[in-house]
C-alpha cells in the first residue's frame, strides 16, 4: 500500500506567518489562474488579493510561484506570482521556446500572462532565472515594466559560483520517498528551517502513483547531457545579449544581492551593472545567499515596498 502525503497548496500559509511572526487573523485571499500563451500551452499563476495586481513576481530556475509566499504575505498587496514555463503548474516550454533556461523565450510567454493578469503592475521582481527573464521582458514588452527589482540576478550567473545550485538541481530524477527528498534538500540548505523546506518541497514536487516523488520542473527535462537546468550551460553569447538589454533599461532598477557564499554574483558583476547603468541602486543582504526570498523574506519585502511603492 502506497502511503500518500496530503497536499493543500493554500493550507500552509499559517506556517509562513508563524515562522516569520506575521499577523494571521485569517488566511490570505489567493487563487490560481491560468493564461493561454500558445495553442495548447498555458502559464499558471498565483493571484493574491482581490484588487488589481500591483506587482509581478518571477521565481528562479527549478522553483515555483510559492517561493514568494512569505514575501507576498509581508507585502500584503495585490500581487501576481507566475510559474515560469516548465515550472510549477505551468506547461512546458514551446517547441521553439529555447528550453527552461531561455530568458527570452520565457519573456515572450510571461508578457502574455502579465497583460492578462497585471497590465498595470508598478514593478516586476525577478529572482535568478526570473531576474534574467525580467531583463528580457524589458525588451519584449517594455510597457509592462515600470520598475525592475533583480534578486541576486545579473547576466553573470555562471561558473564555479553556481556549483552548489547546479549540483542540487542536477541530482536524481526521482526519489523513493518524501523523506529522501527532504533529507537531500536539507543537506543543500543547512541554514533554512526544516519546516520551510518541507513546505517548499510540497509546493515544488509531486508524488506519483507508485509512491515516488519528482520535482515539478523535472517533468519537462529530457535528461540528455547538456539539457540540465544549469546556469553553466547558457552560452556566453546569450549573456552578452542580456547585458545589452540591461544597458537599454530606462526605468528605475534595483539589485538586491545576497552576500553569503551561496550567492552566485561577484563584485565584478555588480560593477558591470553600475558601469552600464550608473543610476541603478544596489542593496546588499549580509544574511542571505542566492534565495533572498527564502533567507530574508521580510527584509526583501520591506525593500520592495520602499523601492516600488514609495512616492
Q: What is the pLDDT of residue 161?
A: 62
pLDDT for res 257: 97
Which of 301, 303, 305, 265 has the alpha carbon at shortest distance from 158? 265
Which of 44, 90, 102, 128 is labelled catalytic?
Answer: 128
Sequence-ordered alpha helix ranges (H) in the chain: 13-20, 69-75, 103-117, 129-140, 163-169, 178-188, 194-204, 236-247, 267-276, 292-295, 297-304
Q: Please state, as a whole number, how many other Cβ atoms lie within 10 Å of the Cβ of residue 230.
A: 19
Structure confidence at residue 18 (pLDDT): 97
- Domains annotated on the chain, with CATH: 13-161+234-309 (3.40.50.1820)
**Does 220 qualify as catalytic in the annotation?**
no
| The predicted structure's pLDDT at residue 239 | 85
Sheet strand arrangement including 79-82? 30-38, 41-48, 79-82, 55-58, 124-127, 148-151, 253-258, 281-285
Query: To which H or E segment does residue 286 belong?
Result: none
Do 135 and 296 contact (CB within 8 A), yes or no? no
**290 counts as catalytic:** yes
Q: Which residues of the chain have pLDDT under 50?
A: 223-233
**Is residue 5 classed as helix, strand or coil in its secondary structure?**
coil
The pLDDT of residue 231 is 41
Contact 229, 102 (CB under 8 A): no
Mark 181-190 as b/e (b = at least 16 C-beta within 10 Å). bbeebeeebe
Whether 128 is catalytic is yes
Cβ-proximal residues to 118 (8 Å cutoff; 6+ apart), any chain: 52, 53, 54, 55, 56, 80
pLDDT at 230: 43
> What pLDDT is stored for residue 179 in this prediction?
95
pLDDT for residue 237: 77
pLDDT for 157 = 66
Neighbours of 99 (CB within 10 A): 18
User: DSSP of 188-233, one letter per residue?
Assistant: H-TTS-HHHHHHHHHHHEEE-TTS-EEETGGGG----TT-SS-GGG
Distance from C-alpha of 212 to C-alpha of 210, rounded to nearest angstrom? 6
The pLDDT value recorded for residue 167 is 82
- Single out the catalytic residue among 44, 290, 291, 295: 290
Residue 264's H or E segment, with its range, is: none
| pLDDT at residue 227, rounded to an integer | 41
Catalytic residue among 91, 152, 269, 295: 152
Question: What local confidence, expressed as pLDDT, does residue 163 receive?
Answer: 75
Amino acid at each position: 500500500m502506497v502511503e500518500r502525503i496530503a497536499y493543500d497548496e493554500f493550507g500552509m500559509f499559517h506556517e509562513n506567518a508563524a515562522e516569520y511572526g506575521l499577523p494571521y487573523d485569517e488566511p490570505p485571499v489567493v487563487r490560481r489562474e491560468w493564461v493561454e500563451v500558445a495553442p495548447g500551452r498555458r502559464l499558471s499563476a498565483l493571484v493574491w488579493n482581490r484588487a488589481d495586481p500591483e506587482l509581478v513576481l518571477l521565481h528562479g530556475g527549478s522553483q515555483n510561484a510559492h517561493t514568494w509566499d512569505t514575501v507576498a504575505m509581508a507585502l500584503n498587496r495585490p500581487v501576481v506570482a507566475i510559474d515560469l514555463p516548465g515550472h510549477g503548474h505551468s506547461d512546458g516550454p514551446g517547441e521553439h521556446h529555447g528550453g527552461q533556461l531561455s530568458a527570452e523565450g520565457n519573456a515572450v510567454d510571461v508578457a502574455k500572462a502579465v497583460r492578462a493578469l497585471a497590465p498595470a503592475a508598478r514593478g516586476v521582481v525577478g529572482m535568478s532565472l526570473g531576474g534574467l527573464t525580467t531583463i528580457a521582458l524589458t525588451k519584449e514588452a517594455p510597457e509592462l515594466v515600470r520598475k525592475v527589482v533583480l534578486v541576486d540576478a545579473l547576466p553573470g550567473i555562471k561558473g564555479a559560483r553556481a556549483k552548489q545550485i547546479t549540483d542540487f538541481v542536477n541530482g536524481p530524477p526521482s526519489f523513493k520517498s518524501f523523506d529522501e527528498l527532504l533529507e537531500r534538500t536539507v543537506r543543500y540548505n543547512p541554514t533554512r528551517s526544516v519546516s520551510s523546506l518541507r513546505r517548499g518541497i510540497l509546493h515544488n514536487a509531486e508524488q506519483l502513483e507508485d509512491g515516488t516523488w519528482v520535482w515539478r520542473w523535472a517533468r519537462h527535462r529530457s535528461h540528455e547531457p547538456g539539457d540540465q537546468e544549469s546556469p553553466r550551460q547558457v552560452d556566453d553569447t546569450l549573456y552578452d545579449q542580456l547585458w545589452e538589454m540591461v544597458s537599454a533599461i530606462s526605468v528605475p532598477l534595483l539589485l538586491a544581492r545576497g552576500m553569503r557564499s551561496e550567492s552566485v554574483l561577484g563584485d565584478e558583476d555588480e560593477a558591470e551593472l553600475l558601469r552600464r547603468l550608473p543610476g541603478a541602486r544596489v542593496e546588499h543582504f549580509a544574511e542571505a545567499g542566492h534565495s533572498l526570498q527564502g533567507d530574508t523574506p521580510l527584509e526583501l519585502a520591506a525593500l520592495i515596498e520602499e523601492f516600488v511603492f514609495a512616492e
